[in-house]
Amino acid sequence: MTLRLGDTAPDFEQDSSIGKLKFHEWAGDSWVVLFSHPADFTPVCTTELGLTAKLKPEFDKRNVKAIALSVDPAEKHAAWISDIEQTQDTVVGFPIIADEDRSVSSLYDMIHPNASTTATVRTLFVIDPAKKVRLSLTYPMSTGRNFDEVLRVIDALQLTDGYTVATPGNWKDGDDVIIPLTVQDPEVLKQKYPKGFTAARPYLRVTPQPNK
């Protein structure tokens, strides 16, 4: 199946590096970053998992849980985690799904036959506490992911969920934001954007980030 933005992330029960895992139950009320890897003991994946482990304090601040997936068995994951921790100087504090039967990979459309008929491409999903898919990114097997961008998008999603704003290109937390075209009433503008705004054009109105 192809997952689109706004779809409910499919639930599943699968073995993992921390034992049998029921996805929705494990996710609870947190945001989730679910990301796939072609195989264990591969160099690019090792660096990505090390980066994710080091980002745990940043994920925690945002109420985000990370969970990885590889098509190798859980016993192999355990040995790989040891390698990751030694070579990347970190502690892997999140589970790795053991998708030997590729059921989760198929459920989330992580295997692209024209790239590989057996291994997953580098797909990443951001899933909100309502279990809705909010972001999907797919990288080729040879290209490591940019986790600064993952954090940036989570910041933007959480901001725009809480306030009636949109974020401009290259936005980072603390930058000015955009007032959507759906807000036109002058009284509503005063109420929602007490810091005021500037308008380069009637459709392009910029206001300071409301929660800063």
- Per-residue confidence band for 80, with pLDDT thresholds at 50, 70 and 90: very high
- Per-residue confidence band for 207, with pLDDT thresholds at 50, 70 and 90: very high
Give the residue-averaged pLDDT of 124-143: 93
- Per-residue confidence band for 2, with pLDDT thresholds at 50, 70 and 90: confident
Percent of the chain at pLDDT > 70 equals: 95
Which residue has better confidence, 140 or 49?
49
Domain ranges of the chain: 13-144, 163-207
Q: For 33-42, 65-74, 177-186, which range has the lowest pLDDT when averaged over its residues?
A: 33-42
- Per-residue confidence band for 122, with pLDDT thresholds at 50, 70 and 90: confident
Contacts of 79 (CB under 8 A, 6+ apart): 40
For the question of residue 185 being annotated catalytic, the response is: no
Percent of the chain at pLDDT > 90 equals: 81
Q: Which CATH number fits domain 13-144: 3.40.30.10, 2.30.130.10, 2.40.30.60, 3.40.50.1370?
A: 3.40.30.10
CA distance 3 to 104: 12
- Per-residue confidence band for 114, with pLDDT thresholds at 50, 70 and 90: low
**Backbone CA torsion sign across 58, 62, 63, 68:** negative
Q: For 56-65, 68-77, 95-104, 111-120, which range has the lowest pLDDT when averaged over its residues?
A: 111-120
Task: Specify the pLDDT at position 112.
Answer: 67
Task: Specify the pLDDT at position 141.
Answer: 79
Q: How many CA atoms lie within 13 A of 8 on its CB side?
A: 6
> How are beta strands 96-98 and 64-70 bridged, if at all?
parallel
Of the residues 27, 32, 33, 45, which is catalytic? 45
pLDDT for residue 119 is more than 60: no
Task: Specify the pLDDT at position 189.
Answer: 96
pLDDT for residue 66 is more than 90: yes
Mean pLDDT of the chain: 93
